[in-house]
Amino acid sequence: MSDSLIAITGDDFVLVAADTTHTRSIMVVKESGEDKIMELDSHKLLAASGDNGDRNAFCQYVQKNSALYRLRNGTPLSTRALANWTRRALADALRKHPYSANLLLAGYDASPTEGKPGKVSLYYIDYLASMQQLPFACQGYAGHFLLGLLDNGWRKGMTREEARELLDKCIEQLQTRFVLGAPKFAIKLVDKDGVHVIESADA
Amino acid sequence: MSRYDRAISIFSPDGRIFQVEYAQEAVRKGTTAVGIRGDDCIVLAVEKKSIAKLQEPRTVHKIVAVDDHVFLAFAGLTADGRVLIDRTRVECQSYRLSLEDAPSVEHVARSIAGVQQKYTQSGGMRPFGVSMLVVGYEIDGQPRLFQTDPSGTHVEWKANAIGRNSKTVREFLEEHYEAQRGNAAQLAVASLLEVVESTRSIEIAIVKPNEPIRFSH
């Protein structure tokens, strides 16, 4: 809950931001430097919030199974397929050994026809295994502060600069108004050329 | 003698396990595969079996990736090979999940050999009729080539051949390896040409450190 994740899609990119703190209840284990956005494969990002242990274990599980699929079938899973697989994994675990992890999964899928542009997608998946594809999304308390701002500021077909500007406004709001507004956010972007680290999580 | 070849978990009086030997015979019937550890690359080459006129050629894979940095070719029963390959793929990801590191080529070869050994000792199931050539570059940049066989051993080689006519190919390699190891791809093709009709029946893959594997048909 105290972790903040924000993601914004354009026509051909997804911008994903996550705070970089590691906290346990009232204690700050690490103020910055925690990378919560995992690169699942060359063209997918999985940002996760929640308990550090569950977050890491679950994200690594998704990442390794994504790789296994790719090696078995010679081609990676589409973002939609992987999102559904991830949701199913959370749902199956929910009434047995639940993972307390909230996720934002973003990916670029090349077009099956050569020469045509691919498409990007963003999926919101929460710890109760509900899932929704969205143009922009938040996890954690951040949503309380930012969804209004994003509703107003997001347009279809935003450029990367516009999206970054909107994201910066969001982060500024968190840092002003949210008692747990972290000083440092990591920012990554995924597009047809793969995953790009815009702001590293490293302190 | 025939009394001792029924069950896998029985030795013959002269200390042999017939089912393992019969499995090795099955390997000798399979299409030839060659592996060469060259100076600047590792090469896997396989004989392409001639296929029926109506069969789609692209559905037979004899050289496969089991992880991003480990590849293998096999000789013997194709279905057995498929099962072993899938188990190995799962093992590689399982290793990465537990240890957050890529498995070494040696670990992969040892794990395949371990599975093959299990089936020589228990369960009343027959062994896998497959030998494998497992290749890749280790983290420290060392190229490795391992062979596994139905008895469950894994042995490292500089160059080797498995499957039918492998003896001829291996003798060719013994003669030419030292001189030709700088040109491993040529050597692989030349060695296979000793036992196959023409280059049209050869599929070759080249592994270089930190590069994706390259196939040529």
What's the one-letter identity of residue B64?
Answer: V
Q: B217: buried, middle or exposed (CB in 10 Å: 19+, 13-18, 0-12)?
A: exposed
Query: What pLDDT score was predicted for residue B4?
Result: 58
A72 → closest Cβ in B86, B97, B100: B86
Q: What is the mean pLDDT of chain B?
A: 91
Closest CA in chain B for residue A60: B97
Give whole-number Cα distances, A99 to A127, B95, B162, in Å: 7, 22, 47
The helix/strand/coil state of A92 is: helix
DSSP state of B52: -
Query: What pLDDT score was predicted for residue B55?
Result: 84
- Please give the average per-residue pLDDT across A105-115, as a whole number: 93
pLDDT above 70 (res B7): no
Residue with more model confidence, B3 or A40: A40
Q: Tell if the CB–CB gap between B96 and A61 is shorter than 8 Å.
A: no
The answer, for B102 touching chain A at a CB cutoff of 8 Å, is no
Q: Tell if the CB–CB gap between A71 and B96 is shorter than 8 Å.
A: no
Q: How far is CA A77 from the centre of its chain?
A: 17
pLDDT above 80 (res A141): yes
Residue with more model confidence, B138 or B212: B138
Q: How confident is the model at residue B201 (pLDDT cuts 50, 70, 90)?
A: confident
DSSP state of A91: H
Predicted TM-score of the model (pTM): 0.89
Instruction: Name the nearest CA neighbour of B207 among B83, B96, B73.
Output: B73
Whether the Cβ atoms of residue B195 and residue B169 lie closer than 8 Å to each other = yes
- Please give the average per-residue pLDDT across A50-69, as a whole number: 95
Q: Tell if the CB–CB gap between A61 and B97 is shorter than 8 Å.
A: yes
Q: How confident is the model at residue B165 (pLDDT cuts 50, 70, 90)?
A: very high
Q: How far apart are CA A196 and CA B127, in angstroms?
A: 48
Q: What is the mean pLDDT of chain A?
A: 95
Closest CA in chain A for residue B94: A64
Query: Strand pairing of A5-9 and A44-50?
Result: unpaired
- Please give the average per-residue pLDDT across A22-31, as a whole number: 89
Residue B177: both structure tokens together:
């390896």
Q: What is the ipTM of this complex?
A: 0.83
pLDDT above 60 (res A10): yes
Query: Strand pairing of B202-207 and B214-216?
Result: antiparallel
Q: How far apart are CA B47 and CA B37, in angstroms?
A: 18
Instruction: Name the nearest CA neighbour of A12 among A86, A122, A115.
Output: A122
Q: Which residues of A58-88 are buried (b: 16+ CB within 10 A; e: fewer)?
A: bbebbbbbbbbbbbbeeebbbbeebbeebbe
Beta bridge partners of A104: A47, A124
The helix/strand/coil state of A133 is: strand
Worst-scoring range by mean pLDDT, A48-57, A118-127, B10-19, B89-98? B10-19
Percent of all residues in chain B with a pLDDT value above 70, rounded to a whole number = 94
Residue A36: both structure tokens together:
């919560």
Q: What is the pLDDT of residues B51-87, one digit of tens each?
A: 888 888 776 778 999 999 999 999 999 999 999 999 9
Q: Tell if the CB–CB gap between A71 and B90 is shorter than 8 Å.
A: no
Query: What pLDDT score was predicted for residue B59?
Result: 63
Q: How far is CA B189 from the centre of its chain?
A: 17
Give whole-number Cα distances, A82 to A45, A89, A190, B67, in Å: 11, 10, 16, 19
Report H helices in chain B: 18-29, 78-99, 105-118, 166-180, 184-193
Query: What pLDDT score was predicted for residue B131?
Result: 97
- Please give the average per-residue pLDDT across B181-189, as a whole number: 94
